[in-house]
Homo-oligomer: A and B are copies of this chain.
């Protein structure tokens, strides 16, 4: 055992024996070093370990403080941040494993590319390629193609969100938008709040940037648990939240306007920034597009990230962030990484969006996804054992399934992969020491003999699952 672990352990005993009151300041690093006889570095490491365990927290320049009685903090949980390579490798291996063309891709994150095919967009691309347009070869430097930014800004305005083209920065897909936003708003060691079950990209990015992650659980009814949120921001010096509130990946819920309004007030009161991952915003089944947090944002505290990846094709790698006053910082980061986004595609998208083609395409896409999701849902609730719960929400193309606690989602994933069917195991989306008994199904593929057969295999395996194979 390292000295710092030894010290952390003995301090933990002191904490549990109630030596310090909630929010009481702990001895300074220097004091602790003198008392304990350990070096300053050892003391620092021990404090950081306790902080990572959620037992104490730090305030800049003021030192370390006791959290509320750790036993009462059941809602907000910290995550220990030393598994960087392991997590990333898991996801890496997962993504590689499901890439093969002969695999039924229920596990992938993208909708069936057949549904995203827009003849008009490809026609536009083809026409642009015919003419000797010199600016296709020129990079459109940050913040990106002005016409495209104007059209994106218009779409915000149509929802009642005042937007200027200069608020928008075009990025290399939605993931790039998230990552640039995180880099702009945080520095290593900052606290960030995530949903407990969330798109794995969020885990990767926060770990890579050395952020301290606080999670709040998903509310079974409302999606976002406001009490847990309040609890978390009261107990930890959270600087930024990264949340999905519309058609959340992997679960699928959309948070109500009432709760979004409350959330906006809390962000304002506590001066916390929100990075909103809203890449599924267009895939609602109802009559009205759900509002983004940007609608409720009075203080420029929300960076809204979205993309064309889930509507026109993830292969294009075009996303954006409503960056507002952070536009310049984000552009600075682009000048050191991707420089800009493919100008040929940006030009074509700008032309395409200036007609009504996109709206028509989206309407068809939504109708198709709605039909398919219903078909999959009906099939699954009919054929899965009663002790499985299929979570249906009227948007997107994921179905999140809670299996009985004894069924290991990872085993389901490995078994199905042997039969050339991919599913996404719950373990990609949360961290738990319990058996990860969830799976996510992509239901954007037409039901035909092959996909139907794959679903049969899945439901049969689950129905006859034996806990000790």
A residues adjacent to B (C-beta < 8 A)? 30, 40, 88-89, 91-92, 95-96, 99, 110, 113-114, 116-117, 119, 122-123, 125-127, 129-130, 132, 134-141, 172-173, 175-176, 179, 201, 204-205, 208, 309, 312-317, 328, 331-333, 335-345
Seed contacts A89-B332, A113-B136, A345-B345; 17 additional CB < 8 Å A-B pairs: A30-B40, A88-B336, A116-B137, A117-B134, A119-B132, A125-B344, A126-B130, A137-B312, A137-B316, A138-B315, A140-B315, A176-B339, A179-B337, A204-B336, A337-B337, A342-B342, A344-B345
- Which residues of the other chain, B, contact A335 by a CB distance below 8 angstroms? 88, 91-92, 95, 201, 204
Between-chain CB contacts (< 8 Å), 12 pairs = A88-B336, A92-B335, A95-B335, A99-B141, A113-B137, A122-B130, A122-B132, A126-B130, A139-B314, A140-B315, A314-B339, A315-B340
| A205 to chain B: closest residue by CB | B336
User: Known: A129-B129, A337-B176, A342-B315. Is A92-B331 also a contact (CB below 8 A)?
Assistant: yes
| A140 to chain B: closest residue by CB | B315
Q: How far is the CA of A139 from the CA of B315 in the complex (A)?
A: 4
Copies of chain A in the complex: 2
- Which residues of the other chain, B, contact A127 by a CB distance below 8 angstroms? 126
- Which residues of the other chain, B, contact A129 by a CB distance below 8 angstroms? 122-123, 125-126, 129
Which of B40, B315, B340 meets A344, CB within 8 Å? B315
Q: How far is the CA of A40 from the CA of B95 in the complex (A)?
A: 46
A349 to B: closest C-beta gap in Å = 12
Q: Check B338 against A175 for contact (C-beta < 8 Å).
A: yes
Q: Check B314 against A342 for contact (C-beta < 8 Å).
A: no
A149 to B: closest C-beta gap in Å = 15
Which of B91, B117, B136, B337 meets A175, CB within 8 Å? B337
- Which residues of the other chain, B, contact A99 by a CB distance below 8 angstroms? 141
What 4 pairs across the A-B complex have the smallest Cβ distances? A137-B313, A315-B343, A126-B129, A113-B137
Q: Check B125 against A139 for contact (C-beta < 8 Å).
A: no
- Among A332, A333, A341, residue most surrounded by chain B Cβ atoms (within 10 Å): A332
| A309 to chain B: closest residue by CB | B139
Q: How far is the CA of A317 from the CA of B170 in the complex (A)?
A: 14
Q: Check B92 against A114 for contact (C-beta < 8 Å).
A: no
Q: How far is the CA of A99 from the CA of B314 in the complex (A)?
A: 29
Q: How far is the CA of A36 from the CA of B337 in the complex (A)?
A: 43
A89 to B: closest C-beta gap in Å = 8
Q: Check B317 against A137 for contact (C-beta < 8 Å).
A: no
Q: Check B332 against A317 for contact (C-beta < 8 Å).
A: no
- Which residues of the other chain, B, contact A316 by a CB distance below 8 angstroms? 137, 342-344
- Which residues of the other chain, B, contact A139 by a CB distance below 8 angstroms? 110, 309, 314-315, 317
Q: Check B173 against A339 for contact (C-beta < 8 Å).
A: yes
| A118 to chain B: closest residue by CB | B137
Q: Check B117 against A135 for contact (C-beta < 8 Å).
A: no
A379 to B: closest C-beta gap in Å = 24
Which of B96, B175, B331, B332 meets A339, CB within 8 Å? B175
Q: Check A175 against B336 for contact (C-beta < 8 Å).
A: yes
- Which residues of the other chain, B, contact A134 by a CB distance below 8 angstroms? 113-114, 117
